[in-house]
Amino acid sequence: VDRGVTDIEGEKRAAAEAAAALVEDGMTVGLGTGSTVAYLLPALARRGLRGLRCVATSVATEVQARELGLPVEPFTSFDRLDIAIDGADQVSPDRWLMKGGGGAHTREKIVAAAADRFIVVVSSDKLVDALSPPVPLELLEFGLPATLRAVEPVRLRDAARSPDGGVIADHTGPFGDPAELAARLAETPGVVDHGLFAPGLVADVVIGRA
Ligand code: 5RP
């Protein structure tokens, strides 16, 4: 389906606004990263909720949230979240997600896993029949050449760093079963985390439709 940029942006906004409506006074809230989350933050700020405590999965989100008056704390002061809302690069029918287009997937997975309810907000172009490469990776700098060799085929993202200073790369090899690839990447030393999010993390997927 060929859709205009305006439709896609409208879909992102609609999904983000629907998710913002699910947040309640006093909640601890995980804020994701990306252009869809950039619509979530003003929608959340407009609600004027009391007693929110937010954590941010990237510097960009933290800066935008603070500018809008949303209170952001380091994710060291509490051990769980009521809700987390984030975008995705791909969503499969069985709710596997590909994330990390913005290189923030390690923080995003920590936040998703810590939340009672992890809500994914996407435009309809993110829906796919099956996940496909590339798979974003966050890698430790130490031993980088050895780690890259272990996860070939792989492409380094020029100068890209995660919010915590990790090296960002993309695994470009074809794969069938995301669970098998996720397990293989997770057990590779030097891989901090990868962008495959298992269905068990996902409570709801909110899809904007033009
Ligand atoms: C960042 C992410 C984003 O959630 C993902 O890339 C989707 O971004 P956008 O809303 O801009 O399409 O995983 O690491």
Q: What is the pLDDT of residues 129-175, one digit of tens each?
A: 999 999 999 999 999 999 999 999 999 998 889 999 999 999 999 99
For residue 58, pLDDT beyond 70: yes
Residue 38 alpha carbon, nearest atom of ligand 1: 10
Cβ neighbours for 128, distance < 8 A, ≥ 6 positions apart: 90, 91, 92
Q: What is the pLDDT of residues 98-140, one digit of tens each?
A: 999 999 999 999 999 999 999 999 999 999 999 999 999 999 9
Q: What pLDDT, on a 0 to 100 scale, did the predictor assign at position 108?
A: 98
The predicted model gives 15-36 an average pLDDT of 98
Q: What pLDDT, on a 0 to 100 scale, did the predictor assign at position 6?
A: 80
> How far apart, in Å, are the Cα atoms of 114 and each of 31, 36, 43, 149?
12, 21, 23, 32
33 CB under 6 A from ligand 1? yes
Give the pTM.
Answer: 0.96
Residue 36 alpha carbon, nearest atom of ligand 1: 10
Centroid of ligand 1 to alpha carbon of 81 (angstroms): 20
CA angle 100, 8, 97 (to 5 degrees): 30
